[in-house]
């Protein structure tokens, strides 16, 4: 396998690159270009004219970052790769960082559930090469199969779902919507729950407009009133990420997020997604016990999402 590196701007101009796997949306060149860092690179492993391994790197004041702004970067590739191929690629990355005289490299890896084999091997190699874990997050996901959502969830959530259905609430995917209204609904909810919002309105608008086929807005309505919504992102053809779930303060007694999750689960089944990512359940390494219990009651499983760093000084 040949290892190569080019600037992100060069990589964006190439139309002949062929992948042996489907990259996660956040690691595609078009999405990487949203991260607003001038000194940016793509490193990859190539074999028989196809990309088998991929890594993005942003450099700011001698600090290497992957990603610069998004939820994750990290090393991704074909699941069938051998250990020694991943090892050689990581050594190539470290060598490039040394050649750039970097002082530190930080890598935020994607959830292990996205690619379990690559995640485990990458973690072991990074730790053996002097990286340390500086953030250990717990995420939850629902494995998508033929089993109905209602058969997976806890009795308490079944009661909440029944209450929503009996109240006449409906689930919809919005094809035409006012971006400002959707953003404000999310921002108000996150402020109420003391959660930060990771995107500005301007960035939200830009991203939605550029990735209309990957960013979906789903809502729960009571008549014409939106009582819950989420922005869900198609990370690739197998993974749907429940990115920004939010609910209306006047309808909390109904727990409409349960019905919203049911709708997402059905959307995944209909569109052949294999995994519904419910997002992280920790805050700076501290568990949100209520959130963890809620997600477990929705029939989810847990996995790790790790962030690494290495000092080169």
Q: Is 37 exposed, middle or buried (0-12, 13-18, 19+ CB in 10 A)?
A: middle
162 and 196 in a single domain? The answer is yes
In a domain, 295, yes or no: no
Region 176-204: mean pLDDT is: 93
Q: What is the pLDDT of residue 195?
A: 87
163 and 130 in a single domain? The answer is no
pLDDT (tens digit per residue) in 108-143: 999 999 999 999 999 999 999 999 999 999 999 999
Please, which residues have CB within 8 angstroms of residue 244's CB and are 6 or more apart in sequence? 186, 230, 231
210 and 225 in a single domain? The answer is yes
pLDDT (tens digit per residue) in 274-291: 999 999 999 888 999 999
65 and 7 in a single domain? The answer is yes
- CATH at 23: 3.40.630.30
3-state secondary structure 242-254: ECCCEECHHHHHH
Region 193-207: mean pLDDT is: 91
200 and 115 in a single domain? The answer is no
* Cα–Cα dist 12/135, whole Å: 31
pLDDT (tens digit per residue) in 84-95: 999 999 999 999
**pTM of the complete model:** 0.95
Decide if 177 contacts 208 (C-beta within 8 A): no
Identify the sign of the CA torsion 112, 115, 120, 123. Answer: negative
52 and 132 in a single domain? The answer is yes
Angle (nearest 5°) at CA 286 between 281 and 287? 40
| β-bridge partners, 142 | 276
153 and 124 in a single domain? The answer is no
254 and 168 in a single domain? The answer is yes
Tokens read off for 202: 């301007």
Q: Which range marks the domain in which residue 52 is found? A: 2-138+305-311
Q: Is the pLDDT of residue 15 over 70?
A: no
Task: Supply the mean pLDDT for the chain.
Answer: 95
Tokens 């094809």 belong to 175
21 and 127 in a single domain? The answer is yes
Residues found in the chain: 313
125 and 192 in a single domain? The answer is no
Q: Nearest-CA neighbor of 62 among 39, 93, 28?
A: 39
113 and 214 in a single domain? The answer is no
pLDDT over 70, % of the chain = 100
In a domain, 75, yes or no: yes
Q: If pLDDT is split at 50, 70 and 90, which confidence band does 10 have?
A: confident
159 and 128 in a single domain? The answer is no
Q: What is the pLDDT of residue 17?
A: 82
Q: Is the pLDDT of residue 210 over 70?
A: yes
Number of domains in the chain: 2
In a domain, 297, yes or no: no
In a domain, 296, yes or no: no
Helices (H), the chain: 8-13, 29-32, 83-99, 116-128, 149-152, 155-166, 179-192, 201-210, 256-270, 289-297
- For residues 278, 282, 283, 285, the Cα torsion angle rounded to the nearest 10 degrees is -140
């Amino acid at each position: 396998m040949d290892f190569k590196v080019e600037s992100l701007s060069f990589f964006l101009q190439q139309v002949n690159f062929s992948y042996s796997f489907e990259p996660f949306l956040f690691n595609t060149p078009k999405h990487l270009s949203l991260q607003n860092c001038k000194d940016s690179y793509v490193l990859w492993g190539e074999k028989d004219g196809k990309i088998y391994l991929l890594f993005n790197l942003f450099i700011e004041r001698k600090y290497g970052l992957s990603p610069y702004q998004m939820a994750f970067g990290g090393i991704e590739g074909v699941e069938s790769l051998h250990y020694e191929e991943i090892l050689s690629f990581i050594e190539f990355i470290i060598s490039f960082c040394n050649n750039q005289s970097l002082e530190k490299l930080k890598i935020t890896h994607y959830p292990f559930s996205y690619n379990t084999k690559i995640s485990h091997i990458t973690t072991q190699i990074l730790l053996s090469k002097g990286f340390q874990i500086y953030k250990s997050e717990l995420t939850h996901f629902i494995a998508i199969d033929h089993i109905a959502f209602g058969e997976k969830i806890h009795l308490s959530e079944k009661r909440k779902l029944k209450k929503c259905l009996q109240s006449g609430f409906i689930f919809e995917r919005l094809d035409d919507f006012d971006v400002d209204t959707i953003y404000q609904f999310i921002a108000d909810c996150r402020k109420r729950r003391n959660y930060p919002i990771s995107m500005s309105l301007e960035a939200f608008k830009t991203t939605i407009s550029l990735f209309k086929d990957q960013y979906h807005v789903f809502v729960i309505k009571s008549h014409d009133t939106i009582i819950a919504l989420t922005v869900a992102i198609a990370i690739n053809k197998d993974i749907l990420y429940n990115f920004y779930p939010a609910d209306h303060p006047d309808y909390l007694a109904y727990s409409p997020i349960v019905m919203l999750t049911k709708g997402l689960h059905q959307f995944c089944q209909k569109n052949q997604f294999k995994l519904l990512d419910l997002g992280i359940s920790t805050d700076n390494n501290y568990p949100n016990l209520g959130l963890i219990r809620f997600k477990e009651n929705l029939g989810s499983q847990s996995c790790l999402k790790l962030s690494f760093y290495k000092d080169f000084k």
